[in-house]
Structure 1
Amino acid sequence: MGRKKGTAKSTWASFLKSIASFNGDLASMTAPPFILSKTSLVEYSAYWTEHPELFVAPAKEQDPEKRALAVLKWFLSTLKQQYSSRSEKLGSEKKPLNPFLGELFLGHWEHETAGTTELVSEQVSHHPPVTAYSIFNKKHGVKLQGYNGQKASFASMTITVKQVGLATLHIDAFDEDYLITLPALHIEGLVYGTPYVELERSTIIQSSSGYLAKIEYAGKGWLSGKKNCFTATLQKTGSKEILYTVSGQWIDTFTIKKGKTEVDSFSHKDHPTTPLNISLLENQDPLESRRAWAKVAAAIDEGDYEKTGLEKSKIENAQRELRKKEKEDGSPWEQRYFTSKERNDTVDKLLEVAAKHMVASGVSAVTLDDPSKTNGLWVFDEQKYEDVKSGKRDEVLKAAVKSVEEATAKAPVTIAQEIPLVDRE
């Protein structure tokens, strides 16, 4: 077994001491291996739909106002899974594995009333790192798709993460779209060695039917004394009238009010998550996340930091060689399920509607991130998906998998003393 570099407590204290005066991009910082998670960022897409019944609920509402409220309730119910569930399971927030280009995470949820909901998640860009995803339920005609990346920095003993990208929700029955922006966040608790996520600033959900939800996030303060708090409002676009207010803690419980009257509530204790079904490891595609990172995950479980670094370096060095070869050959990697676009008409229209309302309310308008930050605007390619399912792309996919496997087998091993917080060339 490889060497373990001291106890977690002593190593964490040493790490904090070394970065006490650090400010800047995390790409130049390393961290103790024991804070490394065995979960890749490409898996995080699944956290959108661990409550499938809430995901499809808007499709059952005939009234557009109630649909908009149902979408807001579903979105708020996802925040705990997206930003807190890992720290609860592991004792504190861990650094996820940085996905390699082409990495996949595929699965589906089976729910008594919601039926089957499918997940397709793919790492579509490595520099900058971007994950794209599509989650769809054909029975109820609900589809979520989006893409996101992160830009992390460190200052005053706090890690701040700006998320770039967006998500859109479509409901077939009403030909209705919702634009969802992503919250900024920072990591609290570093000084105590128990990091956790706190959301900040605000996000919106704009519907094509003319409703705008605004969510304001707040951390633990002198008044509330509670962490992970939020307040949300739902309005008719262009109107100052507040139709509904929602408030509480996104990790615990929140209430929905119309005026001063409580009309609904949600508690995570009363809504257990639905497990995601994925193929057995031996049946997965070699590019699927858990199969690809299996040896790294096993080393992390064993607490073998040296082996963790060695196995991780094989994958990373292989990817560098593949990118170098692709550049030399003039044949860039082809994404399996997604396509990059310069414009997205649906998003542009919803942003325009939201901007008019927010400017009229004296609030800074939401703008789309520069596409260069994500290598374009990523959309789920239905034709690619069908071609993969029908076997039309079998030969192309086999060749891509073979190139990754051969590069990994030949990749040199790099012995790293610590784990970079952000991968760098």
Structure 2
Amino acid sequence: MSSDKADKCALPAEHRCGWMSFIKSIASFSGDLSKMTAPSFILSPVSLTDWGEHPDMFLAIAQAKSPEERMVAVVRWFIGTLKGQYTSRNTSMGSEKKPLNPVLGEVFLGKWPSDGTHGETTLISEQVSHHPPITAYELQNKQVGVTVEGHSGQKTSFNGRSIIVHQVGHAMLRVQLPDGEQEHYLISLPTLSIDGLWFGSPYIELTDTSYIHSSTGLLATMSYSGKGYFSGKAHSYTATVASDKAPSTLLFEASGDWSGVSYVKKGTLLPANSVFWDANASSRQEVSVAPISEQGENESRRIWKTVAEGIRTGNYDVASKDKSRIEQEQRVLRKEREKNGTKHEYTYFKHIPDDAEYAILAGACKGLPAKQESFRRTK
């Protein structure tokens, strides 16, 4: 990290002592950090998040004419989701904030209205596990025939300098073609490194590699790197597309800043040196949700209304008290289930213990487990 970054602490002076106490407790904690309770002043006023902030790019996948063009569209859409997922809190709140831990059974229902031609795009997210935390989701536009369905969990640890978040799960994107056939795209998830902790200015970098593997035989490989302690450039990535039978023969390569601008480097699918993705030129489209007064009791914004208002207004006492109330209610519900020998029932998804569709596409992706569970939309 550069010295000017290190000198800027994003936390108000009154919270710096509490922040250092929190970091010291992380350093001495044994096990998955997701089980820890964080102080309210480092929380974000949101819990469940989404991949749908650029619905036009999502729809463009189905409008592409060839398998190669569709793969490039999927990669562009995926890269386009990263800024909203991993740097929007840093931008809007001065530093990375910890999202609220969704309660078991919490749901988020939203949509992006039709542009008059392509119909509306809908989102359903549901917290299907609390320990470990796992969110299942589906983003869909029925009219154009494109859907992404998946789940994401986290295994979190501390290496003395950074919090490392291994995202457990995957997504399956499906495209309905005009001839009635369907293409599938397995999407794996990058690893997160939360840096800047000791300076009170946490921020996220993506690390390692993630993949998109299509049922057409095309394989996209995304390699991530960031700004290290002494060198490197923040939010860097390189994406390549090749046949899974000849991975060294590239059809396409792009690289740059996933939160800024990236360019086509080489390949036959797009002009060299052209802009592949510009996050600053593509405004996010906020999801539309029902008013809180009309939401069900398990909907996200209704559950966390008081906590979110307390965080946004700086009234952390109110936020902490209501957060504690919610957590205590969840403990009571969990004990009741244990006493009665009952299991939590999902509202929108079903559990697939061993997903055969995943297994077919995972083999070409180095480092992915051969078997993995999934959550499939039921209604």
**Normalised by the size of structure 1, how large is the TM-score?**
0.79
Q: Residue type of the partner of 1:312? A: K
Task: Check 1:293–1:32 CA distance in 2 against 1; reply closer, same or farther (3 A cut).
Answer: closer
Determine if the alignment matches structure 1 residue 172 to structure 2 residue 180.
Answer: no
Deviations 1:264-316 (A, max 9, x none): 52211211111110001101111101101112122223423332222112111
Q: CA deviation at 1:111?
A: 5.1
Partner of 1:233: 240
Q: Residue type of the partner of 2:346? A: Q
Task: State the secondary structure of the residue aligned to 1:271.
Answer: coil
CA distance in 1 between partners of 2:108 and 2:287 (Å): 11
CA distance in 2 between partners of 1:14 and 1:317 (Å): 24
CA distance in 1 between partners of 2:58 and 2:123 (Å): 13
Determine if the alignment matches structure 1 residue 298 to structure 2 residue 309.
Answer: yes
Deviations 1:92-125 (A, max 9, x none): 1111111111101010012536531000000011
CA distance in 2 between partners of 1:256 and 1:147 (Å): 30
Task: State the secondary structure of the residue aligned to 1:246.
Answer: strand
Determine if the alignment matches structure 1 residue 99 to structure 2 residue 102.
Answer: yes
Q: Which consecutive unaligned segments of at least 5 residues does structure 1 have?
A: 356-363, 386-425
Task: Check 1:28–1:243 CA distance in 2 against 1; reply closer, same or farther (3 A cut).
Answer: closer
Q: CA deviation at 1:56?
A: 1.4
Partner of 2:4: none
Residue 111 of structure 1 contacts residue 274 of structure 1 at CA under 8 Å; is this kept in 2? no
Q: CA deviation at 1:189?
A: 1.3
Task: State the secondary structure of the residue aligned to 1:256.
Answer: strand
Task: State the secondary structure of the residue aligned to 1:115.
Answer: coil
Residues paired across the two proteins, number: 359
Residue 15 of structure 2 contacts residue 41 of structure 2 at CA under 8 Å; is this kept in 1? yes
Task: State the secondary structure of the residue aligned to 2:273.
Answer: strand
| Mean CA deviation greater in 151-160 or 302-311 | 302-311
CA distance in 2 between partners of 1:135 and 1:336 (Å): 16
Task: Check 1:21–1:124 CA distance in 2 against 1; reply closer, same or farther (3 A cut).
Answer: closer
Q: CA deviation at 1:83?
A: 0.9
**Normalised by the size of structure 2, how large is the TM-score?**
0.89
Partner of 2:113: 110
Q: Which has the larger radius of gyration?
A: 1
Task: After TM superposition, list the pairs within 5 Å mapping 1:23-422 onto structure 2.
Answer: 24-25=30-31, 26=33, 31-40=38-47, 42=48, 44=49, 46=50, 48-110=51-113, 112=115, 114-173=118-177, 174-221=181-228, 225-239=232-246, 240-259=248-267, 261-352=272-363, 354-355=364-365, 364-368=366-370, 376-381=373-378, 385=379
CA distance in 2 between partners of 1:365 and 1:32 (Å): 35
Q: Residue type of the partner of 1:310? A: K
Task: Check 1:15–1:337 CA distance in 2 against 1; reply closer, same or farther (3 A cut).
Answer: closer
Deviations 1:170-228 (A, max 9, x none): 00114000000011111011122111100000000000011000000001158974201
Q: Residue type of the partner of 1:242? A: L
| Mean CA deviation greater in 289-298 or 302-311 | 302-311
| Greater RCO (Cα-Cα under 8 Å, separation 6 or more) | 1
Task: Check 1:315–1:88 CA distance in 2 against 1; reply closer, same or farther (3 A cut).
Answer: same
Q: Which consecutive unaligned segments of at least 5 residues does structure 2 have?
A: 1-11
Task: State the secondary structure of the residue aligned to 2:201.
Answer: coil
Q: CA deviation at 1:150?
A: 0.6
Q: Residue type of the partner of 2:200? A: G
Task: Check 1:24–1:217 CA distance in 2 against 1; reply closer, same or farther (3 A cut).
Answer: farther
Q: CA deviation at 1:368?
A: 4.6
Deviations 1:12-41 (A, max 9, x none): 34544x35853643257554431012211x
Deviations 1:144-184 (A, max 9, x none): 00001111111213111111000010001140000000111
The alignment's C-alpha RMSD in Å is 2.2
